[in-house]
């Protein structure tokens, strides 16, 4: 019989991480651990206040599944028993890890995929004043892909210009975190195009993004806060050119793989991202990211310390996770 344990962990950030909605100095994660016949599987999630989640509520959701997990609940039935979100993600990934270890196979093999390859991840620059963001960019100018946190439109063009001067050769993507307004989009899109930005994440609030439908844009627009599980895909069509798949939104790797396939069939560009978390959360996301055109799995690089063992990073190149970590 499988047993379930749930724990809250706090991981310090290297400095302060700021987006348009606020700042934080630690990553608050919840870890679900499943044990059966001496074999253990783990999954990590990040309760996200933007989606009405708290650490306490997510832990309660997970603990409420103990009986069903103990009775043999599998990943397919888990999708029908819990809504998409952080709690289901932790359990889904713990099931993947447990199954892989029990079978003596890697999780990518269980998923029917080719052997995992190293990936190049974006590196995120925290929202700040233009000069401070330029300093961040200068320190990271050797990285191949930078992601800029923006979202206060009145100063965002100045931030973009400052970062581009500091990192003239680096590929750029922008994350507005729902912070722009429809009337500002033409000027902001034009500035992004002029400065070589390749992708813009969630320029408008997810609940008020109708202005994107049919809007002229020189750059691909990516759904983030607007994209969760499979059921959210239909409302994105015609508004977005790309989708940012995060396991904490899809409710785990199982649905993330399904969503990636469905979105690609609609001609959407695939991005795989993460919440601020450790290598234990990045490991399953790397499976979903194997065919993504943009990878944003830099969570451990933003922490003061990571798990041991964790994912090995050579600059922005991340190696497949060791079996002792996950999968």
DSSP for 200-239 reads EE--S-GGG-GGGTT---SSEEEESTT--SGGGSGGGBTT
Residue 195 is assigned to a structural domain of this protein: yes
Q: Is residue 99 located within the same domain as residue 153?
A: no
Does the annotation count 246 as an active-site position?
Answer: yes
pTM: 0.96
Residue 285 domain boundaries? 119-318
Residue 114 is assigned to a structural domain of this protein: no
pLDDT at 153: 67
Give the angle subtended at the CA of 22 by the CAs of 221 and 19, to the nearest 5°: 30
Does the annotation count 101 as an active-site position?
Answer: no
Q: Is residue 79 located within the same domain as residue 128?
A: no
Residue 301 is assigned to a structural domain of this protein: yes
Domain count, the chain: 2
Task: Give the DSSP letter of residue 116.
Answer: P
Q: Where among 44, 70, 105 does a domain terminate?
A: 105
Q: Is residue 293 located within the same domain as residue 180?
A: yes
Which residues is 28 bridged to in the sheet? 10
Q: Is residue 265 located within the same domain as residue 170?
A: yes
Q: Does residue 296 have a pLDDT over 90?
A: yes
Q: Where among 61, 81, 105 does a domain terminate?
A: 105
Q: Is residue 93 located within the same domain as residue 159?
A: no
State whether residue 13 is helix, strand or coil: strand
Residue 46 is assigned to a structural domain of this protein: yes
Residue 112 is assigned to a structural domain of this protein: no
Distance CA 122, CA 229 (A): 23
Q: Is residue 264 located within the same domain as residue 294?
A: yes
Assess contact for 88 and 82: CB atoms under 8 A: yes
Parallel, antiparallel, or unpaired: how do β-strands 22-36 and 39-45 relate?
Answer: antiparallel
Task: Give the DSSP letter of residue 152.
Answer: -
The separation between the first and the last C-alpha atoms of the chain, rounded to the nearest angstrom, is 20
pLDDT, tens digit, for every residue of 238-280? 999 999 999 999 999 999 999 999 999 999 999 999 999 999 9
pLDDT at 96: 98
Q: Is residue 80 located within the same domain as residue 138?
A: no
Q: Which of 302, 288, 322, 311 is nearest to 108 (CA)?
A: 288
Q: Is residue 37 located within the same domain as residue 182?
A: no
pLDDT, tens digit, for every residue of 89-107? 999 999 999 999 999 999 9
- Give the number of C-alpha atoms closer than 13 A to the C-alpha of residue 58, restricted to the C-beta side: 30
Distance CA 132, CA 120 (A): 25
pLDDT, tens digit, for every residue of 204-240? 999 999 999 989 999 999 999 999 999 999 999 999 9
Residue 113 is assigned to a structural domain of this protein: no
Q: Is residue 79 located within the same domain as residue 224?
A: no
Distance CA 188, CA 183 (A): 10
Q: Where among 75, 105, 135 does a domain terminate?
A: 105
Q: Is residue 74 located within the same domain as residue 129?
A: no
Distance CA 186, CA 223 (A): 18
Q: Is residue 277 located within the same domain as residue 208?
A: yes
Residue 210 is assigned to a structural domain of this protein: yes
CATH of the domain at 81: 3.30.390.10
Please pick, among 24, 101, 117, 246, the residue that the annotation labels catalytic: 246
What is the side-by-side strand order in the sheet with 39-45? 3-19, 22-36, 39-45
pLDDT at 18: 75
Residue 65 is assigned to a structural domain of this protein: yes
State whether residue 3 is helix, strand or coil: strand
Please pick, among 117, 149, 239, 249, the residue that the annotation labels catalytic: 149
Give exposure, 51-69, as e/b (b: 16+ Cβ within 10 Å).
eebebeebbebbeebbebb
CATH of the domain at 197: 3.20.20.120
- Residue 106 has a CB neighbour count (10 Å cut-off) of 19
Q: Is residue 166 located within the same domain as residue 99?
A: no
């Amino acid at each position: 019989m499988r047993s379930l344990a749930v724990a809250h962990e706090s991981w310090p950030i290297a400095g302060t991480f700021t987006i348009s909605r606020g700042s934080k100095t630690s990553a608050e994660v919840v870890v679900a651990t499943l044990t059966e016949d001496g074999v253990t599987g783990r999954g990590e999630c990040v309760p996200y206040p933007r989606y009405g989640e708290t650490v306490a509520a997510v832990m309660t959701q997970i603990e409420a599944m103990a009986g069903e997990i103990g009775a043999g609940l599998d990943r397919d039935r888990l999708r029908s028993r819990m809504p998409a979100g952080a709690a289901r993600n932790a359990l889904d990934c713990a099931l993947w890890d447990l199954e892989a270890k029990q079978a003596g196979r890697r999780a990518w093999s269980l998923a029917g995929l080719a052997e995992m390859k190293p990936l190049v991840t974006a590196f995120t620059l925290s929202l700040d004043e233009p000069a401070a963001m330029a300093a961040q960019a200068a320190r990271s100018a050797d990285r191949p892909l930078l992601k800029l946190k923006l979202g206060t439109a009145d100063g965002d063009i100045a931030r973009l210009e400052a970062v581009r001067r500091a990192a003239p050769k680096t590929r750029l993507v922008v994350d507005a975190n729902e912070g722009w307004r429809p009337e500002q989009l033409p000027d902001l899109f034009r500035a992004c195009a002029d400065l070589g930005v390749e992708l813009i994440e969630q320029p408008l609030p997810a609940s008020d993004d109708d202005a994107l439908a049919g809007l002229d844009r020189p750059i691909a627009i990516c759904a983030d806060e607007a994209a969760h599980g499979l059921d959210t895909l239909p409302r994105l069509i015609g508004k977005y050119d790309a989708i940012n798949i995060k396991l904490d939104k899809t409710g785990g790797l199982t649905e993330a793989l399904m969503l990636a396939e469905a979105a690609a069939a609609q001609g959407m560009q695939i991005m795989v991202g993460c919440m601020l978390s450790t290598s234990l959360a990045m490991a399953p996301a790397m499976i979903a990211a194997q065919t993504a055109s943009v990878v944003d799995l830099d969570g451990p690089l933003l922490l003061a310390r990571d798990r041991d063992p964790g994912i090995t990073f050579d600059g922005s190149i991340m190696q497949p996770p060791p079996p002792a970590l996950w999968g």
